[in-house]
Amino acid sequence: MKKSVGAKLLTGVLAASFLLTACGSNKDSYYAESPAATEAAYDSNGVYEYKTADFATEESAELTGNTQAEQVVDTSRKLITTMNISAEAENLDEVLGSVDSKIKELGGYVESSNIYNGSRYSGRVITRTADLTIRIPAAKLDLFLETVEGVTNITNKSKNVEDVTLQYVDIESKKKALKAEETRLLEIVESAETVEDIITVESRLSDVRYEIESIESQLRTYDNKVNYSTVYLDVTEVTKYTPVEEKSAGKRMVEGFLESCSDVLHAIAELFIWFVIHIPQLVIFAAFVTVIVLIIRKISKKKKKG
pLDDT attached to residue 256: 76
Q: Quote the CA–CA distance of 1 and 11 in Å, as a whole number.
A: 15
Query: How many residues are present in the chain?
Result: 306
pLDDT at 233 over 90: yes
Residue 284's alpha-carbon distances to 1, 88, 260, in angstroms, are 98, 45, 35
pLDDT attached to residue 100: 94
- pLDDT-wise least confident of 176-180, 232-236, 245-249: 245-249
Strand partners, 190: none
pLDDT attached to residue 306: 61
Do residues 194 and 2 touch, judged by C-beta distance below 8 A? no
Q: How sure is the predictor about 146, in pLDDT bands with cuts at 50, 70 and 90? A: very high
* One-letter amino acid for residue 123 of the chain: G
Q: Quote the CA–CA distance of 96 and 90 in Å, as a whole number.
A: 11
Q: Which tens digit of pLDDT belongs to each residue from 43-97?
A: 444 433 333 333 334 444 444 444 443 443 344 789 999 999 999 999 999 999 9
- Three state DSSP letters for 172-197: HHHHHHHHHHHHHHHHHHHHCCCHHH
Q: Which tens digit of pLDDT belongs to each residue from 261-302?
A: 877 887 788 888 888 888 898 889 888 899 888 888 888 877
Q: Quote the CA–CA distance of 52 and 36 in Å, as a whole number.
A: 6
Q: Which tens digit of pLDDT belongs to each residue from 125-141?
A: 568 899 999 999 999 99
pLDDT attached to residue 54: 39
pLDDT at 102 over 80: yes
pLDDT attached to residue 189: 87
Q: Which tens digit of pLDDT belongs to each residue from 29-40?
A: 333 343 333 334
**Dihedral (CA of 148, 149, 155, 159) sign:** positive
Q: How sure is the predictor about 221, in pLDDT bands with cuts at 50, 70 and 90? A: very high
pLDDT at 26 over 60: no
Strand partners, 276: none
Q: How sure is the predictor about 197, in pLDDT bands with cuts at 50, 70 and 90? A: confident
Q: How sure is the predictor about 250, in pLDDT bands with cuts at 50, 70 and 90? A: confident
pLDDT at 25 over 60: no
CA atoms within 13 A on the CB side of 221: 9
What's the predicted TM-score (pTM) here?
0.56
pLDDT attached to residue 275: 83
- pLDDT-wise least confident of 8-12, 172-176, 265-269: 8-12
pLDDT attached to residue 119: 58
